[in-house]
Structure formats: structure tokens, C-alpha cells
Structure 1
Amino acid sequence: MAHARANRPAGDRANLYQQITDRIIAELEAGRVPWVQPWGTAKAAIGLPHNAVSDRRYSGINILTLWDAMVSRGFASHAFLTFRQAVALGGSVRKGERGIGVLYTRRFVPREERRRADLEGREPSGGIPFLKWFTVFSVEQCDGLPAHIGEPPPPIPDGLIFPQADALISATKADFRIGGPSAFYSPTHDYVQVPRPDDFHDPVNWHRTAFHELGHWAGGASRLNRDQTGAFGSVSYGKEELVAEMAGAFVCAALGITPTVRHADYLGSWLEIIREDNRAILRAASAASKAADYLLAFRPQAIAANDDDPDHDPDGAVAIEGRIAA
């Protein structure tokens, strides 16, 4: 039956927990990390699953559950909805489609507490948390939905990513992902993620962010091997951020790209580092230059120039390519 009941027996819920756990274990044992995108067989672009009606993102274990469904069933959309939501929109879930079980937390508030809260003009406090189980379907399992429901994000408009930047990013062969709400480099999984350029107030600043994160990537263990173990807010973290920021600026300058200047409040932690150690800026600039040179060496003209250089060590070039491919 397409529309499973929301209230399931406790045994069914316990079984669902075990199914989820077993699936995650199987993925890890197969050498796949189920919370890292993209997956080799996925049709969907990077993103988080969300409800097609409310646009609210699913969270916690539901993200992994829905990602698994997207990969195993070949869904290209991140949008899901319940049977009733599909009907309310004038559509329907196709006969024979299997839903995906997801969980959500509710809080039971005793009637007496609700009454007191109403009398006192406040929100009820306390309560007993409990989990509920319900079924959702991909919008791709439905017919008759309005055209705007579950639409994938539009392609990035032409011209927002400068061609010289696009070519360099592609040439690095870095695992470079566009999408999501934040920019970061993951040393553990060795990939870069940045939001779409049209998510920036001034799209030119996408390039600064992209090459900042690639500055971190260049410092990865298999490349320039900088210390990237500092915890957020620590001095070593601030130093690495300073290196990446300068590396991004150097690369943008080399490519003829002029982002806007960061606000002064963003520079506070770096100023503190520089003031406390008069060699910090020298070390950071040196490391940033090495990172920028590492990235810029992937430009076709740089490779051609090296090929024409009688002092260039061809074995060194092969070694760099080997590290990138690793």
C-alpha cells in the first residue's frame, strides 16, 4: 500500500533502526563513506534532501537514509514528500512505488502543562520526547505534481565562473564540488566544496573563495603537506586560514581576477597572529606562494613552459601528477 501509516509498532521502529545501522556498516565495510558526496553511481548533484512542500531540509539519520535511496534507486532530485502532500498538490504517488521510512522527533506535553501555559501566556515547557516514523516518496515517484515542485537547481549562468578559473580548477583534478550553503576543504576526505557563484552577493567573490579552499587543498598531506590539524579558533587554525587566504589572492591576481576586499572584522584573528609573532606573516606568505605556485603549475601554459625549459626535471612533473592522482 502506497501510503504507510505514520504510527508504527515499537518493533517496526526498532527494526528500522537496525536496518539503517546495518546499511551504514555495509557501506563502510565496502570502503564507501555514506555521508560524503558525490557517490560514483549517483544521478543527483551535491545537495541535501528536503521536503518538496515546506522546503525544510531533513536532518540527522534521515539525510543518510534519503541519500541511500537516491543512490540505490537512481533519483536525481533531492525533493521528497508524503503521500498526503502529493495528493494535496493535485498529484499522486504511482501505484507500486515503495516509500522511504524517515524519523522525526516529537514532544509529548501533558494536558495540565498545556493548560497552565495557556493561562500564563507562555510556551509549554518540559514534555517527553519520542520518535515517530513515517513514509516519504521522491517527487520522481509521483505524477501530476505542479511543475515547480522538486525542480533541480538551474545550471550556473554562463560567465559567472571565469573561463581561466574554470580551466585551472579542472586541470588540478581536485575533487571540487559546487553547491551547499558553505565553503570548506575536508582534509579527511580530501575534497573542496564551495556554494554556487550566484549565491554570492557579488559573484566575482566566488573565485576568491574557490581558490582559498584550493589553497587548503594544495596543503593536503599528499601534496605540500602543511599542518592542517589545528582546531577551529586555535592559533594554528588561524595561520592555515591566513595561508589559504593569501594563496587565493595570489592565484586570483595571476589569473587577472579582482575580488572585493574582505571586511576588516574578518581580519581580526590574523592581525592578532601577526602582532604576536613578527615572523608569522613571512612564513604565511612563503607557504601561500608555494601553494599558489603549486596550483598555477597546472595551467596549460605553465606546463608548456616547463616542457620548453632545459632545466626542468620531467621526473618531478610525473611525481606531482602521481600525487594528484593518489
Structure 2
Amino acid sequence: MSRRYPRRRTGEDRTSLYDDITNKIIDELEAGQVPWVQPWGTVPANASLAMPKSAATGRQYSGINVLILWWAATERAYTGQSWLTFRQALSLGGHVRKGERGTTVVYADRFVPVDEKQRASENGDEAQAIPFLKRFTVFNTDQCDELPSEVAATAPPPPPDLIEPRVEKLIKATGIDFRIGGNRAFYVPAEDYVQVPPPQAYFEPINWHRTALHELAHATGHPSRLNRDLSGGYGTKKYAFEELIAEISSAFSCASLGIAPTVRHADYIGSWLKVLREDNRAIVRAASQASKVADYLLGFLPEDVADVTTERAEREAV
């Protein structure tokens, strides 16, 4: 009984969390809003465009936690993307203001119970790890007082003239066959190449970079790279799920590079909704894959132009 009870509670807690996150995204998609792009169009003009990070450790958040913290920053009009726990604020010499409401992020891992180790040892089996999900409450630095100036300060966005050169160098550094031309953006798995229309084909040239990063995300699924299943045809669940990965990955990459594009692929909202309604874990898995894709691509950014940390831990301890 001591083994089953925690396992059942953990499973129920995890399912509840998946439901909470999925339902929130479904609500926003049904309202015509794309959660992983919305923050760039609604936060205050002085907001810092960045990936969320721990103000105490400097580590960037990944996966579903990025979307959770972007939502919170958008809804509450925070000016930065630095977060910490109540105790971390105290350890830095500051404090969370009375009455402030925190934001829940999650930490996933696996552990092997002592009795399971003993059972496996006695039977000569491999011990089975049990997944667990832990929740943490974090606060934006905007919600705190008396923090050190270097922690509380909001980093300015990178100068506009650095954005295009960095993306161009990134594309070349990946070694992916990247072609500019035509009137459609796509990736061809069988021939392993990306094609994107020229920047002047876009009403807002900044959106060319978002599209390029989206198609490069698809290319990371090639067997020689991250080896994802790209066999889904248009209209299938596999296709919609891969589009989710590429779209969220593009958003993560844009945030890391300081690019603020507008929403794209609104025509995919219907297929995304279908996937999310049928699988309450889809968005968590897609966001996790998107983090891996963004990290893979940004890892090619030449050091002389990289001013953001792109190597994230697979799981972040708050």
C-alpha cells in the first residue's frame, strides 16, 4: 500500500496539471489567440523580450514552463522575464511584496523507491523508476522589493541591427540546405532542404526570420539531426503535432534572439485544437520537443554574435 498510494497521487496530480495547461491553451486558441506569440503583442512597450530565467541561478526555463511564464508576464504586465521563489528572494536580500500572487511552474523527474530496488535485486530484474511531478511557486522580480540592482534590472532588448545578421549566420552555421525563392515556405524531408520566399515577399520583413526558424525546426527532425517522426501527411495528427513543435520552437528561438514577429499559421489553429482535445499531454510533449529543437539550432550560433545562453538544462531546478 505504501508503494501504490504515492504512485496514484502522483498520477492524479500529473493528469490534473496536464488538464489545467491544456484547457488554458484551448481557451486561448478558441479565442483566436496563439499563446506562444501573444506575449509579444500585448505586453507593455517597456517589457523585456526574452526567455524566462531564474533570477537566482541564471538558468533559462524550458518546455511548458516557458509558456506558463509568458502567460503570467502577459496577463500581469510584468516588465521582465526573471523569476524566483519566495525563499530565493529572501536569500538575495529582498522579499516578495505582501499580497502578491505567485505563478506555478513544474519540475519533472523519476525516482526508484527503496522497496523496488530490493525487489529488482532479489529477482534479478531491472528496477523500475516512477515518474513524479513537483510544483513550485515563483514570483517575477517586478513583484519583489529590495532585490540587488543587478537582479532587479530589466535587460534592454538587443539592437535591431543585430537581429538579421545573427539569423543569417545561424542558418549558414547549421549546414542545412536553405534555399530562398518561390512563394511558399516548406521543408522537404526526402531531399532534406528548406525553402522560404525572399524577405521582400513579406508585408513585415521581420516575419521572414520567424518563418525561416519555423522551417529550420522541421529540418531538425531529419534522422541525421534530432530524428523525429515526419511521416504525417497534411491533415493528420502527426502533421499537426509536428507543426506545434515547429511553431513553438520558432517562438522560443525568436525570444532568445530578440526578434518580435507577429502571429503566423492561424489556419493551423483548428488542427492544433483537435490534437489538444484528444490528448491532454500533447502540449507538454510539444513544448518539451520545441525546447530541444531551439537549443539544437541556437547551439550553432557563432560565439562572436551570441549574447544569450542557449544551453538549458533538460529540467530546471528552481
What TM-score does the superposition give when structure 2 sets the normalisation length?
0.46
Structure 1-normalised TM-score? 0.45
Q: Which structure is larger by alpha-carbon Rg, 1 or 2?
A: 1
